[in-house]
Structure 1
Amino acid sequence: MPLRSGKLLKNRYTILAALAPGGFSRVYHARDETRAHEVAIKELDFADDRAAKRFFGEFQTMMLLRHPNIVEVHEIIEDEGGYYMVMEYMAGGSLADALDRGEKFSIERAIEIVGTVGRALAYAHAHRVVHCDIKPANILFTADGAAKLADFGIAHISELLKAFAWTMTPHSFIAGTVQYMPPEQVDGVRDDPRIDVYSLGA
């Protein structure tokens, strides 16, 4: 059941409103009462084992990746048997939201967004992480329009880093967004950074 507005989690985070639901979770706009600033909170859906692996895997991956063009993750909290990921709140919404509203982007602005996401991907790839789901819904904006990459829930993490992380989405489960996938990803390839480059171009 969705959290109601005004719900207090862990005696610290007040739920303000529900944001657009993701494929495996609900996301809320909330306020951190101890630091007096806004955050986003992702709620784990325990109905699917894959969702739990994705949730904890995303947290571990994003804790490894600290970059100004990647949405920051703060912590995971437990409250009344539920698990919640506390993240940076992106007040500008997503690129998908902007496109749905019919917003037009200048060539300069489009190049700026692609360049920003490209820098985030270069950093992730240097740390042997492949995002695997680059799409407009995972490109978010701050209040002043800066773009950041979000949702590493189905990311592939290299063997080198698996010793420090939870298991990612299994290869037997094709995850991602089909219209942005290269053919190799549909065939199960998830450890090649060129997957992300293709999807960014798409």
Structure 2
Amino acid sequence: MIEPGGKLGKYELRGTLGRGAMGVVYDGWDPIIGRRVAIKTARTPDASDTEAVEEMARFKREAQAAGRLTHPNIVGVYDYGEDNGVAYIVMEFVDGPSLKSLIEKQERMALPQIVKVMEDLLTGLAFSHARGIVHRDIKPANLMLTTDGIGKIADFGIARIESSSMTQAGTVMGTPAYMSPEQFMGQTVDARTDIYSSGVLLYQLLTGERPFEGGMTAIMHKALHTDPTPPSTLSVTSPRALDAVVAKAMAKRPEERYPNAEAFLAALKAAASGQAPAPEPDEEATMVAPRAAAAVAPKPAAPARPTAPGAA
């Protein structure tokens, strides 16, 4: 650990903000631009330590992934560097708490606040997914809230980039309580795994509880085989209309979830406002309907024969 008052590259270390999975997160300062930043660090590993080398590859991938994402609802990444055996990522400093810290204080949100947090989360994910990046670890600790109440997604450290081969099927990554069934099974994931994790987060905001608790084995079994208790059963302030929204987001099979973050957000807003969600197209009905219509359509009338001039 580098003591505050030291430097990493050109950046001044003015204090500590906490500890990440691999190292200290510093309160830093960019003296060239005159900007406060957060600096996440990790020790560069010995080449013989294959596990540590893989962790460092993920650490670098965080900078690569997030550096491609410039959006109001995503924590910005400004720089990556290595100095005296320490690798570091320089990020936007967010002047507010994480969603996790608010949940731990048992600060329950009103429904409009929940919808706003989810809107920021899903808007940021829609932007990320459109650029081929799946976060893979959506949870309260990875959603920061500014003092203005804007939600920003943080920590793309285990994100999957479509052009990268570093994250393969068979690798289990994530935080158990928020992991999708396909993550537990080590399958290749796509954007719908973030939809599932966002559904878990919505459940927790509505009820104050996570849908599945216990150790990793217990959570995995429940995620694969058990439906969670509907939110409205646990909280009188959770509208019953949101039960179906959460259930669809957390469907066991990816193809049964919302196809994208925009569809999830639209359904959430409709349910929260008391509007009936627009019916999803029924492909089978769409295919059959034209044939059925053709079968019952009346035959066109035969054209009238022209009348000879002077005929009665």
TM-score between both structures, scaled by the size of structure 1 = 0.89
1:73-124 CA distances to partner (integer Å, 9 max, x unpaired)?
0011222232211000112021111111222211111110101010111111
CA contact (8 A) 1:155 1:168 kept: no
Distance 1:179 1:81 in 2: 34
Identify which of 91, 102, 107 aligns with 1:103.
107
Distance 1:180 1:81 in 2: 33
Secondary structure in 2 aligned to 1:19?
Answer: strand
Change in 2 beyond 3 A, CA 1:64/1:186: same
CA contact (8 A) 1:50 1:169 kept: no
CA contact (8 A) 2:43 2:85 kept: no
The size of the alignment, in residue pairs, is 194
Name the structure 2 match of 1:129: 133
1:146 partnered with 2:177: no
CA contact (8 A) 2:182 2:189 kept: no
1:183 partnered with 2:181: yes
Change in 2 beyond 3 A, CA 1:190/1:123: farther
Name the structure 2 match of 1:66: 70
One-letter identity of the residue aligned with 1:25: G
Secondary structure in 1 aligned to 2:182?
Answer: helix
Distance 1:27 1:174 in 2: 25
One-letter identity of the residue aligned with 1:81: G
Distance 1:111 1:87 in 2: 27
Change in 2 beyond 3 A, CA 1:142/1:190: farther
TM-score between both structures, scaled by the size of structure 2 = 0.59
Distance 2:118 2:135 in 1: 15
Distance 1:55 1:180 in 2: 21
Name the structure 2 match of 1:75: 79
Give 1 or 2 for the bigger CA radius of gyration. 2
Distance 2:152 2:142 in 1: 8
Secondary structure in 2 aligned to 1:109?
Answer: helix
Name the structure 2 match of 1:20: 18
One-letter identity of the residue aligned with 1:127: R
CA contact (8 A) 1:71 1:150 kept: yes
User: Where do 5+ consecutive residues of structure 2 fail to align?
Assistant: 46-51, 201-312
RMSD: 1.6
Distance 2:83 2:160 in 1: 29
One-letter identity of the residue aligned with 1:183: P
Shift of 1:36: 2.1
Q: Tell me which protein shows more helix as a share of its residues.
A: 2
Secondary structure in 1 aligned to 2:19?
Answer: coil
Name the structure 1 match of 2:122: 118
Secondary structure in 1 aligned to 2:18?
Answer: coil
Q: Which has the higher contact order (CA 8 A, sep 6+)?
A: 1
Name the structure 1 match of 2:166: 168
